[in-house]
A and B are shown apart, each in its own frame.
Chain A
């Protein structure tokens, strides 16, 4: 029941999809209890940042390559990419407000660098 605002990333489209802007990726799997608990938070963030930042999920069962590349060996893990570069890692559960602040921080830094 993921929100339509949440994109689905795969091993194939990952590099393209994360190449621009601020992108938050939720690494998850069906069998992971805490991942199910984080899902509503990720859905809410997708709606909140709609049009400003991309929020996506990547199923580690179906896509083993990307987790390997970024040394993800535990889920849920959230990775934040900025212009294709890994900028932040959150392992485990975190309050929605904390994650939102982190995204805002990267969006704001983006704006100030463009103005400069």
Chain B
């Protein structure tokens, strides 16, 4: 018999909604938080498109509420990270960094996605010394200094606008000559006098000074291949995300970009394993769609467990044996 009915990996909107629903279904879920506990919303400020909050709600506050709500109904939240997973044998086994392991009859994967880097080497090396993927964490260090934001989507525009609170000037560098961002975010950015744009260009290198801090970037025009050095103190990268699926490679069916393939709701190719949120969605990627798919995964897991012959809720099991 497995230790658990259901384990949820990930603590963003998808994972916490799955925890809320499975807890209310009396499945006594265990939720493993992961390293980036709370998910991407922990890195945001005001969330203005979460229904029910007409004046918006701070991302970290929303996640604190979601977690408390899941816990109120009995979800158990565990700090830590899954380091190994066995989905070939049943029950499934999850192992943790502290050497412990736990078995479960069903699994909901809600590990989300993490910010992408430029893949030029120098950007990752200078992380924490002027290169960042988190404006709300690191904007503070650039008061009165010039910086750049790389990317042309909603998150790039949000970061650029946010960073003008601190920076003397924000240069947005984008590969195309138009933005991918929504109209409302574009309008905000174009109206901001501190934001300038460099179009059709990419960052080909990040250069550091003697102290190991960023002092310039090399900007390459993709049409002319002309390269220019742009002196600045910081670079914020907002070029999208990659799904957190390295743990599942070779065990779960992934698409060409590494996202988990789901069908008929939240089902994966392994019976009893479900996926929700950004780890299986590269199209919508919203807090509300992640939460919605977390709910779907919880209901799918509940139905799957009902179909297992040996499964009984813990209380019912006690009652029948005594």
A95/B137 in contact, CB under 8 A: no
A86 to chain B, nearest CB (A): 11
- B residues less than 8 Å from A98 (CB atoms): 97
- B residues less than 8 Å from A91 (CB atoms): 127-128
- A residues less than 8 Å from B140 (CB atoms): 29, 31, 60-61
B129/A34 in contact, CB under 8 A: no
A95/B36 in contact, CB under 8 A: no
B36/A74 in contact, CB under 8 A: no
- B residues less than 8 Å from A40 (CB atoms): 79
B158 to chain A, nearest CB (A): 15
B128/A72 in contact, CB under 8 A: yes
B97/A96 in contact, CB under 8 A: yes
B42/A74 in contact, CB under 8 A: no
Cα A105 to Cα B52 in complex, Å, equals 50
Of A32, A71, A95, which one neighbours B213 at CB under 8 angstroms?
A: A71
B234/A95 in contact, CB under 8 A: no
B38 within 8 A of A: yes
B212 within 8 A of A: yes
Q: Which B residues from 45 to 80 make CB contacts under 8 A with A?
A: 59-60, 79-80
A77/B38 in contact, CB under 8 A: no
- A residues less than 8 Å from B128 (CB atoms): 72-74, 77, 89, 91-92
- B residues less than 8 Å from A71 (CB atoms): 129, 211-213
A108 to chain B, nearest CB (A): 19
B138 within 8 A of A: yes
A33/B137 in contact, CB under 8 A: yes
Question: Would you list 27 pairs from A and B whose C-beta atoms are within 8 A, ordered by A residue?
Answer: A31-B140, A32-B137, A33-B137, A34-B134, A34-B137, A60-B141, A71-B129, A71-B211, A71-B212, A71-B213, A73-B128, A73-B129, A73-B130, A73-B132, A73-B141, A73-B213, A73-B214, A74-B127, A74-B134, A89-B128, A91-B127, A91-B128, A92-B128, A93-B35, A95-B35, A96-B97, A98-B97
B97/A95 in contact, CB under 8 A: yes
Cα A39 to Cα B290 in complex, Å, equals 27
- A residues less than 8 Å from B59 (CB atoms): 33
A33/B43 in contact, CB under 8 A: yes
B81 within 8 A of A: yes
B309 within 8 A of A: no
A33/B129 in contact, CB under 8 A: no
A97 within 8 A of B: yes
- A residues less than 8 Å from B233 (CB atoms): 73
Q: Which A residues from 69 to 111 make CB contacts under 8 A with B?
A: 71-77, 89, 91-98
- A residues less than 8 Å from B97 (CB atoms): 95-98
Q: Which A residues from 38 to 72 make CB contacts under 8 A with B?
A: 40, 60-61, 67, 71-72
**B118-141 interface bits toward A, Cβ cutoff 8 Å, 1 = contact, 0 = none:** 000000000111111010111011
A34/B211 in contact, CB under 8 A: no
B98 within 8 A of A: yes
Cα A60 to Cα B143 in complex, Å, equals 13
A37 within 8 A of B: yes
A74-B141, A75-B137 are known; give 16 further A-B pairs, CB within 8 A.
A32-B137, A33-B42, A33-B137, A34-B134, A34-B137, A71-B211, A73-B128, A73-B138, A73-B142, A73-B214, A74-B130, A74-B132, A77-B128, A89-B128, A93-B35, A97-B98
